[in-house]
Chains A and B, each alone.
Chain A
């Protein structure tokens, strides 16, 4: 279609600007292929099926074309990440609804059952919060401190490095590792709760 390498030096913003002014899809071609592997990888993570992930990636890029004609996007990569995640969650939700979709069951659901569901949801949230606190306590001290400061107290990397006397890279690394470890711990705890 085009020699894509010729435009690799252009930033996302420049490619988007070129598209917005000319409406020539070749700019989107360069931009989309930059991130096709990332989008496919994330789809694969959530949908757990190669074919579905490929189809989802196509759908996501189609959605991008429509959205880009409507809105101005400043940070394409993070915007694309949000679109990808939302699409995957939507797919998962639809699949879940489809597999458990039993119209009769829905019709028979009484108000009491709905109330019970609501109570269960609140209970579930409380359990999740409890698990989160338990897991946070299990993290190594540096990771625990940085994660708490960044996510709960909304401090910037710079502020954290000043508070804890770590350099920028250490803060970044502690937060990344902490987040990953926290996720693993929460999943383990949730499985344990389910078994109980």
Chain B
């Protein structure tokens, strides 16, 4: 379980500079309290995850593989959706430009016809 704790706690998104300032006592009380709350939340996050894994004892490798595959699928889908949306928007923009051009040409022809008649 200590290995698991190490794996789970290897990422920490507190700015290292901020952490250093905190350890040197250079932060204001409010900032220090915020850092401590964050550290405390990280501990809770890791503790709860270990608790869940320890009590349910699943096949971690398979479970993690499944979760990561699902993340891949979800992100690929989002990427595809985004691409399609962009393509759709580009099509709409092209269509709009063509429409404007067509209107200009029609307008030009109509004006020319009027001028001819006049």
Task: Please give the distance in Å from A175's CB to the nearest CB on chain B.
Answer: 7
One of A53, A77, A168 near B11 (C-beta < 8 A): A77
**Chain A 18-38 per-residue mask, 1 if CB under 8 angstroms from chain B, else 0:** 000001011011001111111
* B49–A77 touching, CB < 8 Å: no
Give the total number of A-B pairs whose CB atoms are below 8 A apart.
Answer: 137
* A41–B12 touching, CB < 8 Å: no
CA distance A29 to B45 in the complex (A): 20
One of B13, B25, B51 near A13 (C-beta < 8 A): B13
* A28–B75 touching, CB < 8 Å: yes
Contact flag A158-B32 (CB < 8 Å), given A33-B71, A37-B8, A53-B52: yes
* A44–B32 touching, CB < 8 Å: no
Task: Please give the distance in Å from B25's CB to the nearest CB on chain A.
Answer: 6
Task: Please give the distance in Å from A53's CB to the nearest CB on chain B.
Answer: 7
- Interface size class of chain B, counting residues whose CB lies under 8 Å from the partner chain: 35 or more
* A65–B74 touching, CB < 8 Å: yes
Interface of A is mostly: helix
**Residue B72 at the chain A interface, CB threshold 8 Å:** yes
**Residue A75 at the chain B interface, CB threshold 8 Å:** yes
* A156–B36 touching, CB < 8 Å: yes
**Residue B64 at the chain A interface, CB threshold 8 Å:** yes
CA distance A61 to B70 in the complex (A): 9
Most buried by B among A1, A26, A54: A54
Interface residue count for A (Cβ, 8 Å)? 52
One of A26, A32, A42, A77 near B13 (C-beta < 8 A): A77
* A65–B78 touching, CB < 8 Å: yes
Residue numbers in A under 8 Å from B112 (CB-CB): none
* A32–B71 touching, CB < 8 Å: yes
* A76–B40 touching, CB < 8 Å: no
Interface residues of A (CB under 8 A from B): 1, 11-13, 23, 25-26, 28-29, 32-46, 48-50, 53-54, 57-58, 61-62, 65, 75-78, 80-81, 84, 150, 154, 156-159, 168, 172, 175-176, 180
Interface residues of B (CB under 8 A from A): 7-8, 11-15, 23, 25, 29, 32-33, 36, 38-53, 55-56, 58, 60, 63-64, 66-68, 70-72, 74-76, 78-79, 82
